[in-house]
A and B are shown apart, each in its own frame.
Chain A
Amino acid sequence: MSAAMVTVPLYQAAHGRTGDKGNRSNISVIAWDAALYPLLVEQLSEAAVAAHFAHRRPTQVRRYLLPGLQAMNFVLDGVLDGGVNDALNLDTHGKALSFWLLDLPVQIPAALVPLLRGPSGT
């Protein structure tokens, strides 16, 4: 097995959905394969996600692990400019934010590349 790593966008390794309540957004990240999950847990730290959303000025980022679902749930406080009734954004719910997170680059061992979705995973 090669130790070489490849950099891919998170969306090749996982999928997710955004939900909102008030000024708080939650984003699920669900690994496409159980073998990818530990790598994502290692790389998608609360600090890494907070940094990726720096322009939204999160007051807190919490991560919850759901190993039975090979999933993580990120809860980002204060990122919706007040939320659905207050924000000036066209997307007041922040529905698109999962796709912002899914653009984050992650490192995957070459041996696991066949588990990825999309063009370079097939």
Chain B
Amino acid sequence: MTTPASSPLLIGCAAGFSGDRVDAAVAVVDTLVTRGGPAFLIFETLAERTLALAQLRRRADPAAGFEPLLDEMLRPVLARCLQHGIRIVSNFGAANPLAAARLIQAMARELRLPAPRIAVISGDDLAGPAHRALLRAQLGEAVDGLNLVSANAYVGAEAIAAALDAGAQIVVAGRVADPSLTVGPAMSHFGWRADDWDRLARATMAGHLLECGAQVCGGYFADPGYKEVPDLHAVGYPIAEIDREGDCVIGKADGTGGCVSLAGVTEQLLYEVHDPAAYLTPDVVADISAAQLTQLAPDRVALRGVRGHARPASLKVNVCHEGGWLAEGEISYAGPRAEARARLAADVLRRRLPALQLRVDLIGALSIMGDDGGALLAATPAGDARDVRLRVAATHTDRTEAERLGREVTALYCCGPAGGGGVRTSLTPRLNTLSCLVPREAVPARFDMLEDVQ
């Protein structure tokens, strides 16, 4: 914090989703320490579905509901981060940021570290009765008939920046917008105002490039013969170097595999983007329609030309509710006429299960490219695939009806075509989602220091 605000800010990202590799952070932190200067470490661990699952865990145990891998992700690097002034910002609080903060506090104690200042962001959780009227106003009376599991607004970077300004060394959030994990540190470090649209937009796109972890470093990119990636097994995680204008250079942790290439960064820049002139976040509307990328050196790509416009007046809310049951069953056919036998088995299941709308996949011939309605499968002439796994899936609100699918797939052992083997069945409760917008003023996000709330 004694560094002048004009020096570049380094932000490393050590997780891109819940379930990401837990050994990623060490190389990122080592690199941040080696390079010196102001630095942050972020972990992005929330997807649309993750938060609802976390809410279910919290219902079962009031001390749970945060990222299940939090301990494994953070423990290897917590001491080094605190010793070197690398501050940590994450949404790994999920449905229970306060419990996550307490776990980190206990971790620091176990590791005999000085107690870190931990801030907890709140305000995103709208699942309680106090917010039902707000959701009803957006989604209508139908919301009262749903078994709500979670409702969370995507809040922005301001509360994160305020917590950092107040001296937090670790900021634990739930549902903040993914790029806000980067924008918050940049706002705080450079002292940007909340209406500095161009700079906020540039930092937002830096955050966008970071938020999926290895996906900007050659992860999710390799395609043998067309797109080669060195040492994919050891793919590195990204580090953004952000300057006072918000422009960034994307690099990666030293001594890791993967590559930061123009082609890969371009793919990630457009990942989950709709209108490139209007990438909406709680902080700003970012415009990448005139963006340019430049390979400055191996594993160093600069992003320029990002512009910003005033942030939206409303915030996006994702509502998750119970959605009946998903039944799935699989059986394999191999050898001569395998595809014909698998197709016959599918026909048997359709006739035996007239109450279910079956999706049929012929894995090894045609599966994930097809639609649930089966239009592509119907339009594809039967082939002669010799190793086919038949998969069927259906949903039903009634568990007993859904269970019939697994039983019929199992019955193919004795009653189906010749040579079927390897049956697996599963029945899982479904979570469905709705989205709506709520006025920003209705969702005031805030931070509290852990020491003040316990």
Which chain B residue has the least Cβ–Cβ distance from A99?
Answer: B369
Q: Does B393 contact A (CB under 8 A)?
A: yes
- Please give the distance in Å from B420's CB to the nearest CB on chain A: 19
Partner of A118 from B226, B371, B373 at Cβ < 8 Å = B226
Tell me which of A15, A75, A89 contacts B226 (CB under 8 A): A15
- A64-B272 CB under 8 A given contacts A16-B267, A55-B375, A69-B292: no
B276: A residues at CB distance < 8 A: 64, 66, 73
* B55 contacts partner chain A, Cβ-Cβ < 8 Å: no
Interface residues on B, range: 35 or more
Chain B residues with CB under 8 A of A24: 274
A19 touches B432 (CB 8 A): no
Looking at the complex, which one of A15, A19, A87, A90 makes contact with B227 (CB distance below 8 Å)?
A15
B367–A28 CB distance below 8 A: no
- A88 at interface (Cβ–Cβ under 8 A)? yes
Q: Which of A29-88 contact B (CB under 8 A)?
A: 30, 32, 55-57, 62, 64, 66, 68-69, 71, 73, 75, 81, 83-88
B391 in complex: contacting residue of A21, A84, A90, CB < 8 Å: A90
Interface size on A, residues (CB 8 A): 40
The answer to whether A84 and B49 touch across the interface, beta carbons within 8 angstroms, is: yes
Verify if B289 is at the interface (C-beta below 8 Å from A): yes
- Min CB distance A2 to B, Å, is 25
CA distance A11 to B223 in the complex (A): 10
Given the known interface contacts A15-B223, A73-B276, A118-B226, the answer about A88 and B432 at a Cβ–Cβ threshold of 8 Å is: no
When the two chains form their complex, are residues A100 and B361 in contact, meaning their CB atoms are under 8 A apart? no
Interface residues of chain A: helix, strand, loop or mixed (majority): mixed
Q: Kindly supply a per-residue 1/0 record for chain A positions 81-112, scoring 1 wherever the CB is within 8 Å of any chain B CB and 0 otherwise.
A: 10111111111000011001000000000000
Say if the beta carbon of B141 comes within 8 Å of chain A. Answer: no
Chain A residues within an 8 Å CB radius of B369? 96-97, 100
Whether A66 pairs with B370 at a CB distance below 8 angstroms is: no
Which residues of B from 347 to 383 have beta carbons under 8 Å from A? 359, 361, 367-373, 375-376, 379
Give CA–CA (A117, B368) in the complex, Å.
26
**Cβ contacts under 8 Å, B368 to chain A:** 89-91, 96
**Closest Cβ–Cβ distance, residue B204 to chain A (whole Å):** 16
Between A and B, 14 residue pairs with Cβ closer than 8 Å are A15-B267, A19-B272, A22-B435, A57-B373, A68-B291, A69-B270, A69-B291, A71-B266, A73-B274, A81-B372, A85-B49, A89-B359, A96-B368, A117-B226
CB-CB nearest 3 A-B residue pairs: A19-B272, A88-B359, A91-B368
Interface residues in chain B, defined as those with a beta carbon under 8 Å from any beta carbon in chain A: 47-49, 220-221, 223, 225-227, 263, 266-277, 288-293, 305, 320, 323, 326, 359, 361, 367-373, 375-376, 379, 391, 393-395, 430-433, 435
